[in-house]
Structure 1
Amino acid sequence: MSDLPRKAVTRTAKLAALPLGFAGRATWGLGKRIGGRSAELVAREVQQRTADQLFKTLGELKGGAMKLGQALSVFESALPEEVAGPYRAALTKLQEAAPPLPAHTVHAVLAERIGEDWRDCFLEFEDKPSAAASIGQVHRGVWHDGREVAVKVQYPGAGEALLSDLAQLSRFARLLGPLVPGMDIKPLIKEMRDRVAEELDYELEARSQREHAAEFADDPDVVIPGVVHQGDQVLVTEWIDGIPLADVIADGTKEQRDRAGQLLARFLFSGPARTGLLHADPHPGNFRLLPPAAEAEESNPDGSDTPDGSGDPGGSGAPGLLSKEGASAGAWRLGVLDFGTVDRLPGGLPGTIGGSLRMTLEGNAAAVYGLLREEGFVKESVDLEPDEVLDYLLPIIEPAQVEEFTFSRGWLRDQAARIADPRSPAHQLGRQLNLPPSYLLIHRVTLSTIGVLCQLGAAVRLRDELEAWLPGFVPEAERPAEGPEEAEEAGEADG
């Protein structure tokens, strides 16, 4: 069977070979250095070979292996440019594609989960997938009522594969550490393991997507496709056309990259405030940049495809839109896909985050330190200097200090280097801070979103979004009665 490698022994063998390969390349590199090659040049070659093997294996295995690869891919901006260059193509490829399941396997899943007459549900169904991801792949079709749809089919054995992969990967997590300086990979893998059941539950995913779709139904900036049909291992949603964010990162205009960045930041903070849910899988493969609604309608009255005929909701690119003339870049919208991983935050993001950010900007070291200690970020057994904690935090929140901040790979590399260097005071202090479990997913999503903003090189008015949507950032006495609704109007004006 040529589909998802399910036998634990096969998958474990492929993953177990990775650390051996890393060690082999280190030995090869030592030999090269002895032979007279410069250490810097040899290190670069070793890392390139490591990246080639790592992401080739992760992509082939799908499951938890590929999921980790996608999670790591948003952090490539933190790598030194001479190292990131060879990584970038492999990382970006993981964000959008993986070897697909053969058609006969997909048909078998549909027959088992929808019924032997599954074809009666569709006027059209494309056997070639438009996208393949970590636990499933997406096919384009036309539902029996004429709506264009994206049909998400879960890989057979995906749950077993996820758990097996993540258990194996956690055994050599420290070897993956150099891929993302300053980030501990092991908690990331543990959190993924803890959420496997949610990821596989398409009923839960459909519920989360319906809640988002209902809340954002009339939103001028964010588009959430509606759920058409949900079954065990099969999820059918409305198809949306647009440019994959990876294509915007690679080829988008400055206006498109800035607009995508602004809307990504807006969705990160407005989503929890409006739905009580945090979309927790913010890699570029889950976002699309859509043209203005009226323009899309005019260029595409039958709704069947994008203006250049390369439509794509949940899958491949629509590069023709990147150079489409006459488009008002400020009015582009953000399409959001894949609600398999969400964090449930009934009250929105914790007020502690907004409060501590505000007090850090105000330079109130004692108040920041007291709040962090109260929430468990500083353990009772640890004593730190409040001013040193403030010095540690200030560079991180630099984007909120100004009216508009341009995110860049260079800025993120500087932050990563500052925290990763064992000799730096920031590294020493960071080791003494604690991340409470309830903040783990919020922390990862925020870091991942910042990683994508840096890939975009977007100029973003982050402070506007924090003031509109983040509880505690604006003191209640100063917050307008309408709050987020006013921000929405501002968003329309911004468009």
Structure 2
Amino acid sequence: MPPAALRQLVAEEAPQIARLDERPVAVGTVAQVHRAVWPDGRAVAVKVHRPDARAVLSDELARVRLSFRALHLALPGHPVAPLWEEFHRHAVTELDCPGEAEHQRAFAAAYRGDPDILVPEVRLAGRRLLVTDWVDGEPVTAIAAAGDQRRCDDVAALVTAFQLSAPARAGLLHADPASENFRITPDGRLAVLDFGAVAAYPDGLPREFGHLLRAIVDRDAERLEATLRELGAVGARGGSASRRLLALAEAAVLPVLAPDFRFDRHWLRRQAGTLTISAGLAVAQGVRLPPGHLPLLRMVVGTVRLFCRLNAQADYDSALASWLPGFRPA
């Protein structure tokens, strides 16, 4: 973003900022972040949307829409249109600074005083600008690059606890678990940044998802099919589809819950082909993503990518039992 445009935006929407470092500390697709000083002397982070943000997002959405059209042609009769509408609705919210501020305030209130999780407080929200408290800490990207396995496992445990507890504690899901959105503070807490991609779960994670995962763990195809129908995620041919999903889950999900499982890129590469083919066959047989839960899928996929980058090992089974309703054995 040109420095002159940056100075003008800050002068219009946050004139109380005393000093602004015009060199960005982070740059994303549509926004960048700068360090500045608030009137009371505290350091703050200033996230600004670049002038071309809407045009860039529009171009990205146009490209993604082609993929949805291809999916519609490949799977005639599958409800692709509602999936695209949900994707589009969540994508455009990432340009909504007041909405992001509202989400971050809710997360900050839910985790205020938490010994393990830190969410920076919001100071100001403008039309194209968001000011929050600055957080000192080590980026998770640096921790992953350093390769200290104990620290990487600690990060994975903290991220797992945050992602699973947030719907119950804040009524919201953080749907963008990219490594750039987390850092570890000097006192060992997980600082969570960037609340542009958030979904509302006012009653916590749905109990049906716990039942679904419990049926997979128990290898109970009948209960799996019943839960899929309850979620509205399966059509008339649910019996064969649920058995295929169970076989897929036995290969891809159950190993993750084992106490000695460790994520890594090689595991992800080995799984990619099998997952793609098996998931495609399941979809062709009538299985679909339950309506309204695309951000949850994004969170799961993003978390797996992050943990593979960390080569992480953690007690996922216990975390699910603590925070996912319906997962704990009866």
Deviation for aligned residue 1:361? 0.9
1:247-303 Cα deviation digits (max 9, x unpaired): 2221141111111111111111011111110011111111112222xxxxxxxxxxx
1:360 aligns with 2:219: no
Q: Which secondary structure does the structure 1 equivalent of 2:159 belong to?
A: helix
Instruction: Indicate if the aligned counterparts of 2:208 and 2:230 stay in contact, CA closer than 8 A.
Output: no
Instruction: Indicate if the aligned counterparts of 2:17 and 2:38 stay in contact, CA closer than 8 A.
Output: yes
1:107 aligns with 2:7: yes
Deviation for aligned residue 1:167? 1.1
Deviation for aligned residue 1:380? 2.5
Q: 1:257 aligns with which of 146, 152, 155?
A: 152
Q: Which secondary structure does the structure 1 equivalent of 2:46 belong to?
A: strand
Call closer, same or farther: CA 1:387–1:230 in 2, change over 3 Å: closer
Q: Which secondary structure does the structure 2 equivalent of 1:259 belong to?
A: helix
Deviation for aligned residue 1:346? 0.7
Instruction: Indicate if the aligned counterparts of 1:128 and 1:139 stay in contact, CA closer than 8 A.
Output: yes
Call closer, same or farther: CA 1:213–1:112 in 2, change over 3 Å: same
Q: Which secondary structure does the structure 2 equivalent of 1:208 belong to?
A: helix
1:213 aligns with 2:108: yes
Q: Which secondary structure does the structure 2 equivalent of 1:379 belong to?
A: coil
Structure 1 distance, partners of 2:83, 2:134, is: 31
In the alignment, residue 257 of structure 1 is paired with which amino acid? Answer: C
Structure 1 distance, partners of 2:264, 2:83, is: 24
Q: Which secondary structure does the structure 2 equivalent of 1:437 belong to?
A: coil
Q: 1:342 aligns with which of 179, 195, 198?
A: 198
Q: How does the TM-score come out when normalised to structure 1?
A: 0.60
Call closer, same or farther: CA 1:255–1:189 in 2, change over 3 Å: farther
Q: Which secondary structure does the structure 2 equivalent of 1:395 belong to?
A: helix
Structure 1 distance, partners of 2:87, 2:137, is: 29
Structure 1 distance, partners of 2:265, 2:84, is: 24
Structure 2 distance, partners of 1:286, 1:401, is: 25
Q: Which secondary structure does the structure 1 equivalent of 2:240 belong to?
A: coil
In the alignment, residue 113 of structure 1 is paired with which amino acid? Answer: E
Aligned residues with identical type, % of pairs: 37
1:40-80 Cα deviation digits (max 9, x unpaired): xxxxxxxxxxxxxxxxxxxxxxxxxxxxxxxxxxxxxxxxx
Q: 2:297 aligns with which of 416, 437, 443?
A: 443
In the alignment, residue 395 of structure 1 is paired with which amino acid? Answer: A
Instruction: Indicate if the aligned counterparts of 1:159 and 1:196 stay in contact, CA closer than 8 A.
Output: no
* Higher alpha-carbon deviation: 397-406 or 336-345: 397-406
1:464 aligns with 2:301: no
Instruction: Indicate if the aligned counterparts of 2:86 and 2:292 stay in contact, CA closer than 8 A.
Output: no
Deviation for aligned residue 1:362? 1.4
- 1:79-94 aligned at under 5 Å gives the runs none
Instruction: Indicate if the aligned counterparts of 2:91 and 2:197 stay in contact, CA closer than 8 A.
Output: no
Instruction: Indicate if the aligned counterparts of 1:288 and 1:334 stay in contact, CA closer than 8 A.
Output: yes
Instruction: Indicate if the aligned counterparts of 1:170 and 1:190 stay in contact, CA closer than 8 A.
Output: no
In the alignment, residue 398 of structure 1 is paired with which amino acid? Answer: L
Call closer, same or farther: CA 1:394–1:173 in 2, change over 3 Å: same
Q: Which secondary structure does the structure 2 equivalent of 1:195 belong to?
A: helix
Instruction: Indicate if the aligned counterparts of 1:163 and 1:193 stay in contact, CA closer than 8 A.
Output: no
Deviation for aligned residue 1:191? 4.8
Counterpart residue number, 1:248: 143
* Higher alpha-carbon deviation: 194-203 or 240-249: 194-203
Instruction: Indicate if the aligned counterparts of 2:207 and 2:325 stay in contact, CA closer than 8 A.
Output: yes
1:142 aligns with 2:37: yes
Q: 2:281 aligns with which of 406, 411, 428?
A: 428
Q: 2:121 aligns with which of 226, 231, 254?
A: 226
Instruction: Indicate if the aligned counterparts of 1:369 and 1:389 stay in contact, CA closer than 8 A.
Output: no
Call closer, same or farther: CA 1:188–1:282 in 2, change over 3 Å: farther
Deviation for aligned residue 1:187? 9.4
Structure 2 distance, partners of 1:206, 1:155, is: 18
Instruction: Indicate if the aligned counterparts of 1:203 and 1:231 stay in contact, CA closer than 8 A.
Output: yes
Deviation for aligned residue 1:404? 4.3
Q: Which secondary structure does the structure 1 equivalent of 2:288 belong to?
A: coil
1:130 aligns with 2:25: yes
Counterpart residue number, 1:15: none
1:272 aligns with 2:147: no
Q: Which secondary structure does the structure 2 equivalent of 1:153 belong to?
A: strand
Structure 2 distance, partners of 1:245, 1:271, is: 20
Counterpart residue number, 2:267: 411
Structure 2 distance, partners of 1:137, 1:360, is: 42
Q: Which secondary structure does the structure 2 equivalent of 1:250 belong to?
A: helix
Structure 2 distance, partners of 1:269, 1:383, is: 30
Structure 2 distance, partners of 1:443, 1:194, is: 15
Call closer, same or farther: CA 1:189–1:151 in 2, change over 3 Å: farther
Provide structure 1 residue ranges, at least 5 long, that are not aligned to the other structure.
1-100, 176-185, 293-331, 479-495
Counterpart residue number, 2:78: none
Instruction: Indicate if the aligned counterparts of 1:408 and 1:458 stay in contact, CA closer than 8 A.
Output: yes
Deviation for aligned residue 1:140? 0.3
Q: How does the TM-score come out when normalised to structure 2?
A: 0.89
Structure 2 distance, partners of 1:284, 1:192, is: 22
